[in-house]
Amino acid sequence: MLNDALAAVTLLVDPTTLVALLAGVVVGTIIGVLPGLGPSIAIALALPFTLNMSLGPSVALLMGLYCTSIYGGSVAAILLNVPGTPASAATCFDGYPMARRGDGDLAIGITTIGSAMGGMFSIVILAFLAPFLARFALRFGPLEMFLVGVFALCCVAIIERAILVKAVAAGLVGMALASIGQDPASGDMRLTFGYFPLAAGIPLVPLLMGLFAISEVMMRVAEYGRGPAEGTLARIGFRVPGLHFWRSAWRTVAKSSLIGIVLGILPGAGPTAASFISYSEAKRSSKDPDSFGKGNPEGILASEAANNAVTGGALVPSLSLGIPGDPITAMILAALVLQGVTPGPRLYTEHMDQVLLILFSLFIANIGILVAGGFGARLFTRVLRLPEPLLLAGVVVLASVGTFAGNNSAFDLVIMAAAGFLGWGLRVLGFPLAPLIIGYVLAPMVEVNFKQALIVYGTDPVVFLERPVAAALLVMILGVLLYPTIARAVGGMRRRIASR
Amino acid sequence: MSGEASPRIRRVATGLGLSAACLLFAAAGGLLSPGDWLRAAQSKTIFPVVVLAGAILCGLLIAAGAARNSDTPFATAGLLKAVGIGALAAIYAIALPRVGFLIATTALSVLLPVLLGYRNIVAIAAFTIAILALVWLVFIRLMNVPLPL
Amino acid sequence: MNRSMPCLALGALAAVLVGFGGDAEAQSYPDKPISVIVPFSPGGQTDIASRTLADALSEALGETVSVVNRAGAGGAIGTAEMAAADTDGYTLGVTASTPLMLKPFVSDVPYTVDSFDYVCRVFENPMFFAVKVDSDIASPKALADYAGSERLRYGSSGNGSVQHLAMLQFSDLAGVEGVHVANSSDADNLRNILADVITGTLTSSSVIKKNEDTLKPIGVMSRERSPIFPDVPTFAEEGFPVYYSLWGVLVGPKGMPEDVLATLRKGCADAQSSEAFQSRMNELGMVPAYMDGAEFEPLAKEESATSKALLEKAGLIQ
């Protein structure tokens, strides 16, 4: 083990490797911050470069890009209400209200620290428990994964309790949009409306940019010139809350990181589900749940620690079983295989140096998040001082160019424009957008696993007795759905006992 | 009419509108042939059918007043401005790959602020140059996006 | 070299757009970068093989050849784009068996096997049936026995995919019935194998090679045993004459100029015979299977007709 660690460190302190890591962190942060660009485009761009690099630099580059591009997505979520990836959608809930009231610097500070802590926490877990966790993940068959998806969707019930019916409707609309194109299980085409390019489905980035960026511009245009004219001057820079905050917040960080790791290990669920579940849990267990969604720093922390903890978790099945859980880790895995890394159980017994190289790179990249956040925050928060009309024009330009960059497709831009009007219409009528995006992201996973569970286990409910994990998930789903009723009943009972 | 009528009308319109939109989506997508989707759970259309049925139900619930407490005050002011700027953004997005990013972006970053009544010419010019430089540097130089100039 | 490639591509593109490109007709092909569409996401076997070919082809043609990923609809989106591209020879693509041979019959796609000019075959990976490494099943015969006594569940990459079709044919010959569990990616199928959701799946040698710790090949659907796993029997030698492979072919849209096609075919032959290409493919567990486009085209059409008949028989054509 010590020898392996030494070997990994030797590879890592090589100047080329360090330069690659630095490049990964800088480029990853920039890509993450820009609307429309995220981890998948960052890794896809880096893939051809790594072909001509040796192991150390290419691992460093990929890990640097991977976690900083996820982190960067949250900056846009906070400053502009435009999540860089669906994983940052839950960060908007509290990050954006904070930025609007002038606390953008604090929101960025919390995001940065939360991301780095979640990431580091997951690496420690990954270092010690990966093979064990990978075996645990295999207990999640189609039935369990279907239930995980349903569970994540049900968390909307806690997050948006005040407008439940509208939230559910938005979630279902998202799922309907996701089913355009093809049946994810059989590959059969459906809902193409007679237009072949729709067979590829509604792509994520144009949808996200339209729904959030363009609709945000439209919402703000409607308000522009009315209301308090630029009343609060946005603070610039990077602010971290004091110790008293962390005394209570560490629990949120720990819980969220755990949720992120578990969801990261499971295939197909990923950071979006993790940040939503973790956010709803933070809200549920908070003493003041009503402050969530109005700029509560713990909301940011919950979402951010969880979505960055996914990075470590997602590498578990990739490295120890050779099974990537999502397209991003699939690309990372392909790059590693081309470097001569053979993922699988033997990687941990015979090539611990390679595993440690990956972990160390990821760890340093998480420190890189702190540095990038610290230096970048001045620049990022300055955006808030731009005159509103210019800021809005900038959002339109960057969202459009970012959308085009993904596929070099003019059709994607049409989808973005249409999604902009859809998002704006829904917002004007009081529908929340976050459930829509989580419905869209989770729909394929829910559908595929439901169909496979039916094929494999049939319709006999006895299967829940044979599969304890599934039974536990079922109980959790009922718990989330019935939570308000249970909480009220328990509260009532307590009061009765107290009054006696 | 009492003051109560307006929110109720909007509620009913929203709910029924959602249901109608989902129904239209299903019809246009060819989901309304029962013979196809009643056959088995394996059918490729069963999932969207269930999802859309749920959304239609939600629409009816909203029309019946289920999400009453969420009714936000409806601002008609600014609506036209929002649609106008939204249309401008859409035109920009669709024009971008056709007329090239230099012309389209310059036009947008001048037009949008001016339409909103912003008249600081120096700021607009500086911003336009900055955003052109940013897009060129990051997207075209660094990422090799084949965006026509 | 790779770093300069996209820059070159951009420079040339810009030059052409601004009008400095000169008269393209006057110069000989190729005088600007060529892009190769890959109809799958980055990182898959077709993608990696195409990138390897693109590097070798750049060398052979003396022009930059870069890969563009256009994933979607099981490869149909990117393949449709290849068919619709300009016939000037600057937009090519590497398509694979399922989108080219089968998709036109099972889905409504805007191309057929006749929509292309064939440049050359790039790889042909024999298709193996893989099971969990500690499974008792060790040969196609044992698989048939297992299917007879227990419920055989097999993965594939979708309805009417090569894997699906091959398994239907095997089940038919063995007189057994298997349960088809479709999935969209190799990774999902692997997971299902390890989690005991499916018995096994048909997949390529390169995938098994990458996952040797967890997967075990038990039979190959080629005419002869594969040099990559020489101990693994063919399905035919145990009495199930099913022949399928997963191949990739470099194509352009139908109607490219004669001289362009000739240049490309020659370039492809040179590229594939290069040392660098051969050794890279070997490392990846892929079988370089050069075949000239002119030779491949009739084979493709023949396979397409056979596939159509099989799909019809299986009731998969709507």
**pLDDT, tens digit (0-9, with 9 covering 90-100), for B47-72:** 998 999 999 999 999 999 877 766 66
Cβ distance C10 to B149 less than 8 Å, yes or no, reads no
Nearest CA-CA partner of A111 in A65, A63, A74, A67: A74
| Amino acid identity at C59 | E
Rounded Cα distance between A58 and C20, Å, is 37
Mean pLDDT, residues A126-149: 86
The predicted-structure confidence for C246-297, as pLDDT tens digits, reads as follows 899 999 999 999 999 999 999 999 999 999 899 888 887 787 789 999 999 9
Token digits for C280?
């890279």
Provide, as residue numbers in chain A, all residues whose Cβ is less than 8 Å from the Cβ of C211: 322, 343-344
Cβ distance A187 to C185 less than 8 Å, yes or no, reads no
pLDDT value of position A47: 85
Domains of chain C, each with CATH number or no CATH: 4-125+245-313 (3.40.190.150), 126-238 (3.40.190.10)
Model confidence at C2, pLDDT cuts 50, 70, 90, reads: very low
pLDDT value of position A232: 56
Strands C200-204, C245-253: pairing is: unpaired
Provide, as residue numbers in chain B, all residues whose Cβ is less than 8 Å from the Cβ of C179: none
Q: Is the dihedral of CA A34, A35, A39, A43 positive or negative?
A: negative
The position carrying tokens 């005419």 is C223
Rounded Cα distance between A250 and A252, Å, is 5
Rounded Cα distance between A170 and B71, Å, is 16
Compare A92 and B30 and report the one with higher pLDDT: A92
Q: Where are the domains of chain A?
A: 2-141+205-408
Minimum CA–CA partner of B119 in chain A: A389
What is B71-86 written as a DSSP string? PPP---TTHHHHHHHH
Compare A37 and A214 and report the one with higher pLDDT: A214
pLDDT value of position B42: 55
CB–CB of B119/A259 below 8 Å?
A: no
Given CB atoms, is B148 within the 8 Å cutoff of chain C? yes
Extract long-range pairs of C143-147: CB within 8 Å, 24+ residues apart.
C143/C174, C143/C199, C143/C200, C143/C218, C143/C219, C144/C170, C144/C174, C144/C176, C144/C240, C146/C199, C147/C171, C147/C174, C147/C176, C147/C177, C147/C178
Closest Cβ–Cβ partner in A172, A225, A454 for B51:
A172
Q: C-alpha angle A7/A9/A13, rounded to 5°?
A: 125
CB–CB of C207/C246 below 8 Å?
A: no
- DSSP classification of residue C116: E
Mean pLDDT, residues C11-15: 42
The predicted-structure confidence for A217-240, as pLDDT tens digits, reads as follows 999 998 887 655 454 567 888 888
Rounded Cα distance between A96 and A91, Å, is 8
Phi–psi pair at C4, nearest 5 degrees: -80, -20
pLDDT over 90 percentage in chain A: 47
Which residues have CB under 8 Å from A399's CB, separation 6+?
Answer: A35, A36, A82, A209, A210, A213, A214, A416
Q: What are the angstrom distances between the C-alpha of A281 and each of A123, C96, C217?
A: 22, 46, 45
Rounded Cα distance between C136 and C196, Å, is 13
Compare B125 and C10 and report the one with higher pLDDT: B125
The predicted-structure confidence for A458-481, as pLDDT tens digits, reads as follows 888 888 888 899 999 999 999 888
What is C159-187 written as a DSSP string? TT-HHHHHHHHHHHHHT--EEEEE-SSHH
The predicted-structure confidence for C188-235, as pLDDT tens digits, reads as follows 888 899 888 999 999 988 888 888 888 999 999 999 998 889 999 999
Given CB atoms, is A267 within the 8 Å cutoff of chain C? yes
Distance from CA of C149 to the nearest CA of A (A): 17
pLDDT value of position A317: 85
Q: What is the mean pLDDT of chain A?
A: 89
Token digits for C163?
């894997």
Give strand ranges (E) for A40-156: none
Provide, as residue numbers in chain B, all residues whose Cβ is less than 8 Å from the Cβ of A392: 85, 112, 116
The position carrying tokens 């995919």 is C161
Cβ distance B67 to A443 less than 8 Å, yes or no, reads no
The position carrying tokens 């009054």 is A499
Provide, as residue numbers in chain A, all residues whose Cβ is less than 8 Å from the Cβ of C279: none
Torsion angle defined by CA atoms of residues A177, A182, A183 and A187, in that order, rounded to the nearest 10 degrees:
-160
To which H or E segment does residue C245 belong?
Answer: strand C245-253
Rounded Cα distance between A117 and A253, Å, is 8
User: Helices C162-174 & C140-149, crossing angle to 10 degrees?
Assistant: 70
Compare A281 and A348 and report the one with higher pLDDT: A281
| Size of chain A, expressed as the number of residues it contains | 500
Cβ distance B94 to A404 less than 8 Å, yes or no, reads no
Closest Cβ–Cβ partner in A179, A421, A451 for B48:
A179
The predicted-structure confidence for A283-335, as pLDDT tens digits, reads as follows 988 988 889 999 999 999 999 999 999 988 888 888 888 888 788 888 898 88
Cβ distance B148 to C17 less than 8 Å, yes or no, reads yes
> Is residue C19 pLDDT above 80, yes or no?
no
pLDDT value of position B76: 67
pLDDT value of position C18: 41
Radius of gyration of chain A (CA): 22
pLDDT value of position B75: 62
Distance from CA of B134 to the nearest CA of C (A): 17
Radius of gyration of chain C (CA): 20
Assembly ipTM: 0.92
Rounded Cα distance between C52 and C275, Å, is 12
Model confidence at B1, pLDDT cuts 50, 70, 90, reads: very low
Rounded Cα distance between A134 and A321, Å, is 7
Given CB atoms, is B138 within the 8 Å cutoff of chain A? yes
The position carrying tokens 């045993």 is C225
Burial grade of B35 (CB within 10 A; 0-12, 13-18, 19 or more): exposed
> Is residue B77 pLDDT above 90, yes or no?
no
Mean pLDDT, residues B82-95: 95
Provide, as residue numbers in chain B, all residues whose Cβ is less than 8 Å from the Cβ of C37: none
> Is residue C236 pLDDT above 70, yes or no?
yes
Token digits for B19?
């249901």
Token digits for A236?
């610039």
pLDDT over 70 percentage in chain A: 98
Task: Mark which residues 91-120 of B lie under 8 Å from C by CB.
Answer: 100
pLDDT value of position A368: 92
Cβ distance A139 to C67 less than 8 Å, yes or no, reads no
